[in-house]
Structure 1
Amino acid sequence: MTVSARLLLVPALLLALAGCGGSGGAATGDTLSVAMQFPPRSAYAFDADDGALLMTLGVAETLTTVDAEARPAPSLATAWEQTPDARTWRFTLRDGVTFHDGTPLTADAVVTALSYISSVSAPPRAVRDIGFTAVADGPLAVLIGTSAPDPVLPLRMSSGNLGILAPAAYAGGGQPNVVRTGTGPYALTTVNGADSAVLERNDTYWGTRPGARTVTIRYVTDPQSRALALQSGDVQFAEGLPDASVAQLRSAGARVTGYPAARTVELLLNQAAKPFSDLRVRQAVTAAIDRPALAARVLGGAATPAADLFGSAVPWGSATAAAGADPDRARQLLTAAGYGPSSPLTVRLWTFPNRPEMPLLATAIQAMLAQAGITVKITVGEYSAQEPKVLAGEFDMFLNSRSYLSDFADATSVLTSDYTCKGSYNIDHYCSAEFDELVGTLAGISDVTERQKVFTRAATMLTDDAVGVMIVHPHNTAGENGTRGFVPDPLSVRPVLPQLTPAG
């Protein structure tokens, strides 16, 4: 089932509101103004994850992209194949593509771009520690190699960190120049630090041209300010809108869409020590938490109750929302584990305020666990101070928010780092030889569908072993007030701004 089909089957995920434009929201001619949630982290540096932002804006493009089933799809490369030695893939480039500065896309240009990003002091995770190399194989083909066979290299090449810029971008040494050096439907023409930028339509673009000739981007970090700008018509598109503003935006004629994000809020339980080394206690906590109530009441419907690690944002996740709480079963499990009125259970719950919903969820979880006889003491502190302690196992419960597709549309990285015995981010301190063996099979599976079956099995195993409690999957939001054309993309791969057309 496609991601789009899942959206149709889960109406609660869609917050599309009545109205398709407002009196104050019309764009001027073919010019748009937009409010984006996240500004560039480091002057549009690809190795600082700004490449993903440039891809969202429609400025830079990668060799591959991803379709709705999270399979690699053509972009600047039209075809790819693995060579007999299994450590090299040959990518055939799209003919007739030109960079914004007028130079042609060639194999040598691609090699220059990929060699730069793989040689920086801290290469992006998508190519880190894999022995990544790129050499030209004629004018329109590139051989990309790794030190060991890599079954997901075509998916890796969709990472926003691996965007291809014109050779002139790298000529000055240091950080590449991103102004008028991409291949996308928009050229970046003006950069005003982390405050704003201007895009101009690329009229020689190889694909579908965008609807607006010029787009002014404002980076607005405050969600309420983004909502007010959209409501007033000061901008015609905004992302990351606060739930409390949705009704007011509706009354102003804006159209707001909510859709699944590849993110999970998880209550991590320290299995390295009592009480959570006992499966019955972990199961009791799971049974005591009413995840539908947390999604609907605490988060105002801006999330889906989590039935597994992944959820409906990806093809391999569960599209079924979690069931409600069962306090009676929770108390029975606690009694079987030796806890009750004469031996009450008290645990510590840590979380952080960086995401404002986390303390709210923690307080609600505290109340739910109290109904089952578990006393919870909450500490809200800075994540940077908490992380070393939770990794060292010096905690009981930790409420975390985790993006599980931070690099490209494959779950191997998060399954390995978060849940294998030697995982670098294994906060639960979960260790299962059977789970490690299952994840280990991914090294030899190149078929994307078969890999996704392994992801599903791994998520089921985590649920069966009560490895933390998957609480909710938050939604992304976007609003239009004077534009049309936005299509939700739970995988966050499709360029957003080129979709938009002035509604006038």
Structure 2
Amino acid sequence: MHAPLRPLCTPLATVLAVLVLVAACGRGAGAASGTPVPDGELRIAAQFSPRSGYAIDTDDAFILTQLGATEALTSAAADGRVQPALAESWTQVDPLTWRFVLRSGVTFHDGTPLTPAAVVTALGHVAGVAAPPRALRGLGLTVVEDGANAVRITTARPDPILPQRMSSPNAAILASSAYTGGAPSVIGTGTGPMRLTAVEGTQRAVLERFDGYWGGRPALARVTATFVDDPAARALALRAGDVDIAQGLPESSLLEFSAGSGFDEQTIAAPRTVSLLMNQAAAPFSDVRIRQAVARAVDRTALAEQALAGSATPASELFGPAVAWGDRGPAPAPDVEGAKALLAQAGHGPDNPLHVRLWTYQNRPELPTLATAVQAMLRDVGIDAEIQIGDYGAQEPDLLAGRYDMFILSRSYLTDVPDAGATLRSDYTCDGSYNIAHHCSQAFDSLVAGLDTTTDVAARQEVFRAAARILVDGAVGVPLVHSLENGVSRNVTGYTVDPMAKRLVTPQLAITG
């Protein structure tokens, strides 16, 4: 059960009500002096709202870590480096077992201490749900106490990146009181710098400073997050001075928050790629020449800089500038005549045009825009693509079954963990559970299989680079653009945009005045 949210000014029900609330409660948009305000309150217009009642085994867990309510045994950066969090150290005992030594002096928000028993309960719960989260799925995870200050975590098969997996928001450790019945309660059961005190459905969450935080007393006394799906509404609230941070603003709004405006606008590469997938399980895209023709027809630079007004970067392969192993070179230039020649070799030309269906979904507003632009580019080389925009949930069964032609998909290639192995295995191996492209190559599978015994981060990243080259050479989809994440703040110090979408509220974050 989640505690009801006591009103701050007026109830929230719609985006309009959100704007009425912030206008009534806002403190205005005065310029910051740079001096932290003691016991300040931070107000956030958040981009994504909770969809599963803050269930720790769902993507709602990212909201909890962003707001500083929960923590896991480890933390990790996009480059794969793992750092201590609730665990101060870890060692691999044998190929199947890791030992994690817990940090001393950690207290849960309910006043109870962090113990091995609490870790066993928390990780045992998330590993045992009917649909385990991506980072922990299929591991055969078991956790047992190992002395007064450690746990042993065992997997069914060797897992060289288990410490990275333990950084997933889904692996957050809650107090034992969270598991007294039904779904775990996240109200007042985390370990982070801010204690979640109240929620109001998908509209708002309130957090208060946790003075017993192991990392030092947080600067903020209170955080209020309002979940506003409409990016224009987030920009309006920030412009009016009624929130301090707005996430995920459209490019058109960012222009007014540029340098010299009094706002701090940050844009950073995100580990997410929008790709044009082609069904290799059936004609016409079982023919590599047609896939290569599509790759040559698409102008990726124009998609990023014109269709999306610079709110993305053009892609040359699966991985982009957000990660250490991503390609930072220019995207290939389009080759219309080369595309036409390949189509002619495959038997398609003015007398035999190629007609296909181009699917995408509207959950991410940039995808229909990209579909329209790609449609025009394909038409220039003699491919007639009929656009169908639907609901992703309804489309997925047909995608996985190979009952489609082309599909534009936005996909995070790190899948919660700063390691690309899971994405390569699920999306591109012969038995991959999310192999929408229906790609199957024994050479590719052998390359990815080597990750099962590779622990060195640099060596794993070389495998990622080699895998990306194979996908480009085989025209296994066309990476179109790499996404960017942004955030704009005013009167805030210590704020940085996290490309992994795991951190926002930290002990150092403060309001200035």
Instruction: Report the TM-score, using the length of structure 1 for normalisation.
Output: 0.91
User: Which residue of 1 is the match for residue 233 of structure 2?
Assistant: 225
Closer/same/farther in 2, CA of residues 51 and 383 from structure 1, 3 Å limit: closer
User: Which residue of 2 is the match for residue 246 of structure 1?
Assistant: 254
Residue 24 of structure 1, CA deviation: 7.0
Match of 2:305 among 296, 312, 316: 296
Closer/same/farther in 2, CA of residues 22 and 239 from structure 1, 3 Å limit: same
Check conservation: 2:135, 2:415, Cα contact below 8 A: no
39-48 or 450-459, larger mean C-alpha shift = 39-48
Cα distance between partner residues in 2 of 1:121 and 1:395 = 29
Residue 252 of structure 1, CA deviation: 5.5
Match of 2:187 among 179, 200, 215: 179
Match of 2:129 among 120, 124, 128: 120
Cα distance between partner residues in 2 of 1:271 and 1:179 = 47
Counterpart residue identity of residue 236, structure 2 = L
Closer/same/farther in 2, CA of residues 424 and 388 from structure 1, 3 Å limit: same
SS in 1 for 2:448: helix
User: Which residue of 1 is the match for residue 50 of structure 2?
Assistant: 40
Report matched runs for 1:140-159 at 5 Å: 140-159=149-168
Cα distance between partner residues in 2 of 1:339 and 1:61 = 56
User: Which residue of 2 is the match for residue 75 of structure 1?
Assistant: 85
Matched, 1:321 2:338: no
Residue 387 of structure 1, CA deviation: 2.1
Residue 28 of structure 1, CA deviation: 7.5
Cα distance between partner residues in 1 of 2:500 and 2:249 = 18
Check conservation: 1:25, 1:235, Cα contact below 8 A: no
SS in 2 for 1:350: strand
Residue 459 of structure 1, CA deviation: 0.9
SS in 1 for 2:135: coil
User: Which residue of 1 is the match for residue 30 of structure 2?
Assistant: 23
Instruction: Report the TM-score, using the length of structure 2 for normalisation.
Output: 0.89
Check conservation: 2:118, 2:176, Cα contact below 8 A: yes
Cα distance between partner residues in 2 of 1:222 and 1:68 = 28
Closer/same/farther in 2, CA of residues 294 and 56 from structure 1, 3 Å limit: same
Counterpart residue identity of residue 237, structure 2 = A
456-465 or 272-281, larger mean C-alpha shift = 272-281
Cα distance between partner residues in 1 of 2:401 and 2:343 = 26
User: Which residue of 1 is the match for residue 18 of structure 2?
Assistant: none
Cα distance between partner residues in 1 of 2:181 and 2:120 = 16
User: Which residue of 1 is the match for residue 12 of structure 2?
Assistant: none
Counterpart residue identity of residue 90, structure 1 = R
User: Which residue of 2 is the match for residue 410 of structure 1?
Assistant: 419
Check conservation: 1:24, 1:232, Cα contact below 8 A: no
SS in 2 for 1:463: helix
Q: CA RMSD in A?
A: 2.0
Matched, 1:485 2:459: no
User: Which residue of 2 is the match for residue 50 of structure 1?
Assistant: 60
Check conservation: 1:57, 1:498, Cα contact below 8 A: no
User: Which residue of 1 is the match for residue 101 of structure 2?
Assistant: 92
User: Which residue of 2 is the match for residue 463 of structure 1?
Assistant: 472
SS in 2 for 1:187: strand
Closer/same/farther in 2, CA of residues 317 and 209 from structure 1, 3 Å limit: farther
Counterpart residue identity of residue 299, structure 2 = D
SS in 1 for 2:363: coil
Residue 203 of structure 1, CA deviation: 2.5
Cα distance between partner residues in 1 of 2:103 and 2:50 = 29
Cα distance between partner residues in 2 of 1:459 and 1:345 = 28
Report matched runs for 1:69-468 at 5 Å: 69-84=79-94, 86-170=95-179, 172-250=180-258, 253-468=262-477
Cα distance between partner residues in 2 of 1:399 and 1:193 = 31
Residue 306 of structure 1, CA deviation: 0.8
SS in 1 for 2:187: coil
Check conservation: 2:139, 2:157, Cα contact below 8 A: yes
Closer/same/farther in 2, CA of residues 496 and 304 from structure 1, 3 Å limit: farther
Closer/same/farther in 2, CA of residues 376 and 499 from structure 1, 3 Å limit: farther
Residue 460 of structure 1, CA deviation: 1.0
Residue 22 of structure 1, CA deviation: 4.6
Closer/same/farther in 2, CA of residues 383 and 119 from structure 1, 3 Å limit: closer
Cα distance between partner residues in 1 of 2:299 and 2:508 = 38
User: Which residue of 2 is the match for residue 64 of structure 1?
Assistant: 74
User: Which residue of 2 is the match for residue 4 of structure 1?
Assistant: none
Closer/same/farther in 2, CA of residues 73 and 355 from structure 1, 3 Å limit: same
Check conservation: 2:193, 2:506, Cα contact below 8 A: no
SS in 1 for 2:186: coil
Counterpart residue identity of residue 91, structure 1 = F
Identity %: 53
Closer/same/farther in 2, CA of residues 369 and 487 from structure 1, 3 Å limit: same
Check conservation: 1:231, 1:481, Cα contact below 8 A: no
Closer/same/farther in 2, CA of residues 393 and 122 from structure 1, 3 Å limit: closer
Residue 267 of structure 1, CA deviation: 0.6
List per-residue Cα deviations over 1:285-310 (Å, max 9, x = no partner): 11111100000011010101011112
Residue 345 of structure 1, CA deviation: 2.3
Cα distance between partner residues in 2 of 1:120 and 1:423 = 22
List per-residue Cα deviations over 1:166-223 (Å, max 9, x = no partner): 22222x2112222222111111122222221221222232225433221111111211
Counterpart residue identity of residue 315, structure 2 = A
Cα distance between partner residues in 2 of 1:492 and 1:412 = 19
301-310 or 441-450, larger mean C-alpha shift = 441-450
Cα distance between partner residues in 1 of 2:228 and 2:506 = 16
